[in-house]
Homo-oligomer: A and B are copies of this chain.
Amino acid sequence: MLESVNRSKDWRDLVVALDDHHLDTLARAAAATVASLRSSPDAPRSAISPSALRELIRSRALCPEDGDDLETVIDDFAATVWRHGVVVSDVACVAHLHPPTLVPAVAAELAIAATNQSMDSWDQAPAATEVELYLMDWLAELIGFDRSASGVMTSGGTASNLLGVTLARSAAAARLGVDVLKSGLPDEASDWRILCSDQAHFSIQRAAAQLGLGRDAVVAVATTASGALDVAALDEEIARQSRAGARVIAIVATAGTTDLGAIDPLEAVAARARHLGCWLHVDAAVAGAFLLSERLKTGLAGIDLADSVTIDFHKLWWQPFNASALVVRDESNFDLLRVRSDYLDRGDELEGMVNLVGRSLDTSRRFDAAKVVVSLRTLGRRALAEMLEHLVDLAVFAGETIDAEPDLSLLARPAATTCVFDAPGASEDDLRQVQQRLLARGEMVLGRTQIKGRAALKFTFMNPLATTEDVERVVRVVAAELRALRAAS
């Protein structure tokens, strides 16, 4: 068997190695892959139906007995899969916080995958460990934390929020002398509450569910018309919980809500958390990027008062999924998570060999920090700030355009890169149909949500290449679709 494999030549060319022969193969494959993307549709998506798409995807053998030529597979995959994806760089792809990506980041992904460092231990990622720590220190400084801060990269805002709430849970248990990770939730945990606004991301509820507290442990506090947490309502809720004998273990403030882009009043919220002696987590998945802009960062005053902060690089930093960070004000909080492992993190390594497994909820973990750092170094702060300011300006411009459009009504003045609206006299089902028809025909990937119980459509501007003309066009298309729907009914 060993001999036969040593003779076999076919698959040996397909393993990544760093000699000239293997790198030449990789270079050809990379070139073929980029070329194959030329078959992507010149629209936000193709108009293929869900059932036809399923049939097309399943018309190829998933794992044939013998493989096919690499370039043939790449081209066929492009023709069947990439061709029927959504085109995030299309200016009419405006549904979600779902960005086009940056060339330096995408190029870095190639090296990340080819070198395949794993962030759990220093001996799987020596330089990568240092790069991630450097990025986390830089991010902590951007937030305004001092040198006792640090952080860790995670797979997304949901994971970062989970990690933040996990630390909050451990801190609450530690006050009772309980190591919750070892012994499980104490009886008192049934009285634990997490407060956040009614516009907070659903990942806070999911975190509480995951942690055994249950979604019901998350108490939603009313927001003002702008979507930001109402401090008076927070005070009332704190008083109500106190009267009920519940214990608030964490307040989660949101910096950049998904629909309205609202930023909670961080300083006021921090004062309440301090008074309660509870954990303050700031979910800045969306608006964390505003720290790069002198003009936009003013809304984030007080973020440095948080115990933990979520920032998503795969939103307004234009990184490919996945790339998020959880930054903690005090690095020693990660001790709450630490798990010694016989094979990964023994604690008897040479000085300076840091094993990051102890601060992550993952074990094997890709070197996503690389793409962020290559992007930051290539673009620089100023360009990123300009791109961001441009998108916020586009959202404001979209709001003005909608205001001027009699068939549509703006629901709130845009605060970040989203713009929510509905239409006079349109039912929830009308709005649903507009969104679904534009999606089905491949003309627009439009957002749809609920704002305080009211159905709404949503633009999320993520593409810095978009112009005011593009915004005018997408507004016109939506208005025309609504009129067409009415005319048909």
Q: Does B110 lie within 8 Å of A34, measured CB to CB?
A: yes
Q: Does A374 lie within 8 Å of B73, measured CB to CB?
A: yes
Q: Does A26 lie within 8 Å of B103, measured CB to CB?
A: yes
Nearest B residue to A386 by beta-carbon distance? B5
Q: Does A64 lie within 8 Å of B123, measured CB to CB?
A: no
Q: Does B81 lie within 8 Å of A378, measured CB to CB?
A: no
Q: Does A350 lie within 8 Å of B77, measured CB to CB?
A: no
Q: Does B364 lie within 8 Å of A156, measured CB to CB?
A: yes
Q: Does A364 lie within 8 Å of B214, measured CB to CB?
A: no
Per-residue B-contact encoding for A75-87, CB less than 8 Å = 1, 0 else: 0011011111111
Q: Does B389 lie within 8 Å of A1, measured CB to CB?
A: yes
Nearest B residue to A18 by beta-carbon distance? B40
Give Cα distance in the complex from A181 to B110, angstroms.
Answer: 38
In the assembled complex, how far is the CB of residue A436 from the closest CB belonging to chain B, in whole angstroms? 5
Q: Does B210 lie within 8 Å of A211, measured CB to CB?
A: yes
Nearest B residue to A30 by beta-carbon distance? B30
CB < 8 Å neighbour of A85 from B27, B128, B156, B440 = B128
| Residues of chain B lying within 8 A (CB to CB) of residue A20 | 38
Q: Does B111 lie within 8 Å of A96, measured CB to CB?
A: no
A10 at the interface (CB under 8 A from B): yes
| Residues of chain B lying within 8 A (CB to CB) of residue A65 | 380-382
CB < 8 Å neighbour of A113 from B12, B31, B48, B101 = B101
Give Cα distance in the complex from A292 to B66, angstroms.
Answer: 12
Nearest B residue to A440 by beta-carbon distance? B350
CB < 8 Å neighbour of A155 from B95, B155, B373 = B155
Which of A143-151, A300-308, A441-449, A473-481 lies on the face that meets chain B? A441-449
| Residues of chain B lying within 8 A (CB to CB) of residue A32 | 107
What total of chain A residues lie within 8 Å of the partner, measured CB to CB? 196
In the assembled complex, how far is the CB of residue A459 from the closest CB belonging to chain B, in whole angstroms? 13
| Residues of chain B lying within 8 A (CB to CB) of residue A105 | 113
A116 at the interface (CB under 8 A from B): yes
A331 at the interface (CB under 8 A from B): no
| Residues of chain B lying within 8 A (CB to CB) of residue A335 | none
A244 at the interface (CB under 8 A from B): no
Which of A220-228, A266-274, A401-409, A461-469 lies on the face that meets chain B? A461-469
Find residues 202-216 in chain A having any chain B CB closer than 8 Å to their own CB: 202-203, 205-206, 208-216
Nearest B residue to A449 by beta-carbon distance? B343
Find residues 100-131 in chain A having any chain B CB closer than 8 Å to their own CB: 100-118, 121-128, 130-131
Find residues 389-410 in chain A having any chain B CB closer than 8 Å to their own CB: 389-390, 393-394, 397
Give Cα distance in the complex from A447 to B342, angstroms.
Answer: 10
Per-residue B-contact encoding for A173-199, CB less than 8 Å = 1, 0 else: 000000011111101011000000000
Q: Does A183 lie within 8 Å of B216, measured CB to CB?
A: yes
Say whether, besides A118-B98, A320-B366, A343-B447, A67 and B380 are in contact (CB < 8 Å): yes
CB < 8 Å neighbour of A465 from B17, B214, B258 = B17
Nearest B residue to A109 by beta-carbon distance? B113
Find residues 1-50 in chain A having any chain B CB closer than 8 Å to their own CB: 1-2, 4-6, 8, 10-18, 20, 22-23, 25-27, 29-38, 40, 45, 48-50
Nearest B residue to A51 by beta-carbon distance? B352
Q: Does B34 lie within 8 Å of A26, measured CB to CB?
A: yes
Give Cα distance in the complex from A88 to B126, angstroms.
Answer: 12
| Residues of chain B lying within 8 A (CB to CB) of residue A121 | 96
CB < 8 Å neighbour of A81 from B74, B127, B450 = B127
A250 at the interface (CB under 8 A from B): no
A377 at the interface (CB under 8 A from B): yes
A239 at the interface (CB under 8 A from B): no
**Could you say which of A104, A116, A211 has the most chain B C-beta atoms within 10 Å of its C-beta?**
A116
A488 at the interface (CB under 8 A from B): no
| Residues of chain B lying within 8 A (CB to CB) of residue A233 | none
Give Cα distance in the complex from A134 to B61, angstroms.
Answer: 10
Find residues 341-385 in chain A having any chain B CB closer than 8 Å to their own CB: 341-344, 346, 348-354, 361-367, 370-371, 373-374, 376-383
Nearest B residue to A39 by beta-carbon distance? B18
Q: Can you list 15 A-B contacts (CB < 8 A)?
A: A5-B386, A13-B103, A14-B103, A18-B40, A27-B34, A62-B373, A68-B378, A81-B370, A85-B115, A96-B118, A98-B124, A101-B113, A110-B110, A205-B339, A312-B364
Besides the contacts A30-B107, A50-B353, A314-B364, what 8 more A-B pairs have beta carbons closer than 8 Å?
A15-B101, A26-B106, A64-B380, A73-B378, A118-B321, A184-B189, A187-B187, A343-B448
